[in-house]
Structure 1
Amino acid sequence: MTDQTNSSSCCGSGGTCGSGTTTDVQGIGVTTVYKVSGMTCGHCEGAVSKEISALDGVTEVKAVAKTGEVTVTSAAPLDEEAVRTAVDEAGYELVGQV
């Protein structure tokens, strides 16, 4: 099991109200959750995932239309403007980090 810590949590060790960015302390990657508006189906999830996956350093993307959340794992923290541009290219709007 991999230990994970929230990179800038305002809470205690539970990390339930932090920045939405989680760093794997073993150096495997950074996981960030974004809120995206306009996704309504699997096609939407695929379009957003495809565009974000094309960003340098991204290793995994999971988009969920029902919640509007997109979980991105990358080798290093991503530039939010690059993520915003990718989401725009897919035809949706990046609201921000969760």
Structure 2
Amino acid sequence: MSMIELKITGMTCAHCVQHVTKALQGVAGVDQAEVDLAGGVAHVRGQADSAALIAAVQDAGYAARQAG
């Protein structure tokens, strides 16, 4: 199992966190997704493709890029 860290911008509240979390969890291969509003990051565990994760976040209305 791998861990992908994404930097996410555009989140302003707990609802945003829920929306991004749901989007990430909908991607094939995601076992767990944790989104941190204060840090503007998401940690995703599983076998998901980072491009698919970024696309899911963007489709949800937020900007994302792979951290690191």
Q: TM-score by structure 1 length?
A: 0.64
Structure 1 unmatched ranges of 5 or more: 1-28
Identify the structure with the greater helix proportion: 2
3-state DSSP class of the match of 1:46? helix
CA distance in structure 1 between the partners assigned to 2:26 and 2:8 by the alignment: 17
Of 9, 12, 19, the match for 1:40:
12
3-state DSSP class of the match of 1:83? helix
- 8 Å contact kept, 1:37–1:95: no
Mapped pair 1:83 → 2:53: yes
If you compute each CA radius of gyration, which structure gives the higher value, 1 or 2? 1
1:97 Cα deviation from its structure 2 partner? 2.1
- How many residues of Structure 1 are paired with residues of Structure 2 in the alignment? 68
Mapped pair 1:53 → 2:25: yes
1:63 Cα deviation from its structure 2 partner? 0.5
- 8 Å contact kept, 2:4–2:50: no
CA distance in structure 2 between the partners assigned to 1:52 and 1:89 by the alignment: 10
1:84 Cα deviation from its structure 2 partner? 1.4
Q: Looking at both structures, which has the greater relative contact order when contacts are Cα pairs under 8 Å and sequence separation is at least 6?
A: 2
- Percent identical across equivalent pairs? 29
CA distance in structure 2 between the partners assigned to 1:95 and 1:58 by the alignment: 17
Q: Deviations over 1:29-65 (max 9, x none)?
A: 2111110011111111111110110111101111011
The one-letter code matched in structure 2 to 1:48 is: V
Structure 2 unmatched ranges of 5 or more: none
Mapped pair 1:65 → 2:42: no
